[in-house]
């Protein structure tokens, strides 16, 4: 087998710039501009983000989920509340979301506090999902050890039969989280690793303050 020297894999960045003069003073609006550009660029999963959480004993964990909306300046995603991430958030609501749009040489970190969205909002989104996704959410004890894939398939088939001709209801342990940001950092790759980094933090009055960070 040919060995690949991964230490020598590197890409030179520098297609675009980011400056205090051109950035939107509201980081949520700036995020939406970048997200639209990522969607228009037809990247594979433009809404994919890594959600980092911390366990009750202080150990971090991270996984990918899909951003499903930004409402009232809060970032929304949906999951199983009993999952590992759900248990972490129940004991510590502080989370970090990371977006990496490689082709655009961009990264965004969003740090803030997560809380459950209303049941009405979770119901509305749940019912907008494909029927099979709704059935899957009902029978999957997300993050738990299972004996075999077959057990999940059997449960899925039984649940499908149970709801034939009926609306598939949202299970109580499945719904959305809304993350209200306190800190948002925009990263744009630049030449010679001298990247642009702009950090937005809220000042005492709730307005956003912008600082440039060293790359
Ligand atoms: C591209 C992609 C999108 C995903 N979207 C979601 C999602 O929106 N919600 C979700 O619960 N899991 C999603 N997953 C699965 C999670 O990464 C993860 O495996 C699952 O939520 C269990 O995580 P946990 O055990 O840390 O709670 C996605 C995975 C990938 C690769």
Question: What CATH code is carried by the domain that includes residue 116?
Answer: 2.30.110.10
> Which tokens is 198 given?
């702009």
122 has a pLDDT exceeding 70: yes
Mutate to test the pocket of ligand 1, among 64, 92, 99, 130 (most ligand atoms within 8 A of CB): 64
| pLDDT score, position 1 | 59
Expressed in angstroms and rounded, the spacing between residue 65 Cα and the centre of ligand 1 is: 5
Tens of pLDDT, residues 177-191 = 999 999 999 999 999
Residue 158 lies in a domain: no
Residue 66 lies in a domain: yes
Tokens 């149970």 locate to 162
> How many separate domains does the chain show?
1
50 torsion bin: left (phi>0), alpha (psi -120 to 50), beta (else): beta
d(C-alpha 101, C-alpha 76), whole Å? 19
Among the listed ranges 1-5, 94-98, 145-149, which one has the minimum average pLDDT value? Answer: 1-5
The one catalytic residue in 193, 197, 202, 212 is 193
Residue 146 lies in a domain: no
Residue 152 lies in a domain: no
Mutate to test the pocket of ligand 1, among 46, 65, 76 (most ligand atoms within 8 A of CB): 65
Closest atom of ligand 1 to 86 CA is: 27
Instruction: Identify the domain containing residue 67 by its residue range.
Output: 13-129+172-212
Residue 25 lies in a domain: yes
2 has a pLDDT exceeding 90: no
d(C-alpha 2, C-alpha 197), whole Å? 37
The pTM of this model reads 0.96
Tell me the average pLDDT across 56-61.
97
Look at residue 99 and give its three-state secondary structure: strand
| pLDDT score, position 17 | 96
d(C-alpha 83, C-alpha 55), whole Å? 12
14 has a pLDDT exceeding 80: yes
């Amino acid at each position: 087998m040919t060995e690949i020297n991964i230490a020598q894999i590197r890409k030179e960045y520098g297609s675009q710039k980011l400056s205090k003069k051109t950035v939107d003073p509201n980081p949520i609006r700036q995020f939406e501009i970048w997200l639209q550009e990522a969607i228009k660029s037809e990247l594979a999963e433009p809404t994919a983000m890594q959600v980092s959480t911390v366990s009750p004993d202080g150990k971090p964990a991270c996984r990918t989920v899909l951003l499903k909306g930004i409402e009232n300046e809060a970032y929304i995603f949906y999951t199983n509340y009993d999952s590992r991430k759900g248990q972490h958030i129940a004991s510590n609501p502080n989370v970090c979301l990371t977006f990496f749009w490689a082709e655009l040489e961009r990264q965004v970190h969003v740090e803030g506090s997560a809380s459950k969205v209303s049941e009405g909002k979770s119901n509305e989104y749940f019912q907008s999902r494909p029927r099979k996704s709704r059935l899957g959410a009902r029978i999957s004890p997300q993050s738990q050890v299972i004996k075999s894939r077959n057990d999940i398939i059997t449960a899925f088939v039984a649940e499908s039969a149970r709801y034939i001709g009926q609306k598939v209801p949202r299970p109580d342990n499945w719904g959305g989280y809304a993350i209200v940001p306190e800190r948002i950092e925009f990263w744009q790759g630049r030449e010679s690793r001298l990247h642009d980094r702009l950090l937005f933090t809220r000042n005492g009055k709730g307005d956003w303050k912008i600082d440039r960070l060293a790359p």
